[in-house]
Amino acid sequence: MKQNWRIAIVMILITTALFGLAYPLAVTGLAQLLFPHQANGSLIQRNGQTIGSQLIGQSFSSPAYFHSRPSAAGTGYDPSQSSASNLGPTNHQLLDRVKADTDKLQTENSGAPVPVDLVTSSGSGLDPDISPAAAEFQIPRIARQRNISESDLRALIAKHTLARQFGFLGEPRVRVLELNLDLDTAHPAR
């Protein structure tokens, strides 16, 4: 019996050292060595100040900015609360929210179909991207607010549209924070 206890304790110590210390340290070290920007949060800095991350969405409520997807993470884009809403497609709470969001967006751009990603949150609730169609939908509102041409906005969206990863994974997408930062640089809000 003593022999079994000794083996069990030794195995706990060995596996704890390997999988609780050595492996995480090795992975962290490799990430810092090979991908330091991503390993440190893909932070975006302006004038020496961190203003966001390429990986975590932010809320933009001003009509002069492109808006992100709705967030189900806490009070909005809270990385410590990352999760989906877990509301099913027949849940009245979800349906009411989507209908209210759709109605609000229809007042901004009547007659145009509302892209689904402007009224639904992502699985993590932290998605920093919107579809090119969602960015295109918002052009009339931003053009009116900033008094700029829609063609200038389309060019800015095209500049910030990322293709499918490796040419076949995912869908084309637009990073909202980077687009809004470039929008402020090229056409400051009045």
At 11-43, the pLDDT tens digits run 999 999 999 999 999 999 999 999 999 999 889
24 three-class SS? helix
- Identity (one letter) of the amino acid at 88? G
pTM of the model: 0.79
Q: Which amino acid is at 103?
A: D
8-state DSSP, 54? S
pLDDT in tens, 37-65: 999 988 988 888 988 888 888 888 899 99
Q: Which domain holds residue 16?
A: 1-40
Residues 87 and 174 in one domain: yes
91 and 149 in a single domain? The answer is yes
Q: Are 95 and 178 found together in one domain?
A: yes
Mode of pairing for the β-strands spanning 129-130 and 43-46: unpaired
DSSP letters of 65-126? Answer: S-------STTTT-GGG-------TT-HHHHHHHHHHHHHHHHHSTTSPPPGGGTS--SSS-
CB 143 within 8 A of CB 149: yes
The answer on pLDDT for 169 being more than 70 is yes
Residue % of the chain over a pLDDT of 90: 56
Q: Is the pLDDT of residue 74 over 70?
A: no
Number of domains in the chain: 2
Q: Are residues 141 and 168 in the same domain?
A: yes
103 shares its domain with 134: yes
